[in-house]
Structure 1
Amino acid sequence: MIVQFSAGKLIVTPFEVQVRLDNGCQLYAMVDDIKFHLDALMLVADAGAVRWNIRLDSIEQLQDIKDELGIA
């Protein structure tokens, strides 16, 4: 699944999330390391020593990603 947002796109598979930003930066995280902050529209990857977060444009984008990953 590909989700377009204002800063780039997310590529979501059952195992990982890739973030490809328009400035050329790419971020990767395993699904087990992903969390969602719905009120702030944030997708957060926290794998201990490596952490990043992306603010999406809408709650629908976050919900689509959660649905694709099977997260309630």
Structure 2
Amino acid sequence: MIIQFSAGKLILSPFELQARLDNGCQLYAMVDDIKFHDDALMIVADAGAVRWNIKLDSNEQLQDVKQELGIC
């Protein structure tokens, strides 16, 4: 599944999330390393020494990501 948002797009698979940003950055995270901050509309990837976060545009986008990854 691909979700477009203002900074680029998210590419979701059952095991991995890829964020391809319009500025050329590509971020990857395994599903087990992802957390969500619903109130802030943020996806947070934390794999120990590597951390990143992305703010989405809407709650609908965040819910779509959670549903696709099987996290409800």
TM-score by length of 2: 0.98
Unaligned runs of 5+ in 2: none
Map of 1:33 onto structure 2: 33
Map of 2:42 onto structure 1: 42
Q: Percent identity?
A: 83
Map of 2:6 onto structure 1: 6
Paired letter, 1:8? G
Runs of 4+ in 1 over 4 A off after TM superposition: none
Map of 2:66 onto structure 1: 66
Q: Deviations over 1:16-41 (max 9, x none)?
A: 00000001000000000000000000
Map of 1:54 onto structure 2: 54
Unaligned runs of 5+ in 1: none
Matched residue SS, 1:71: coil
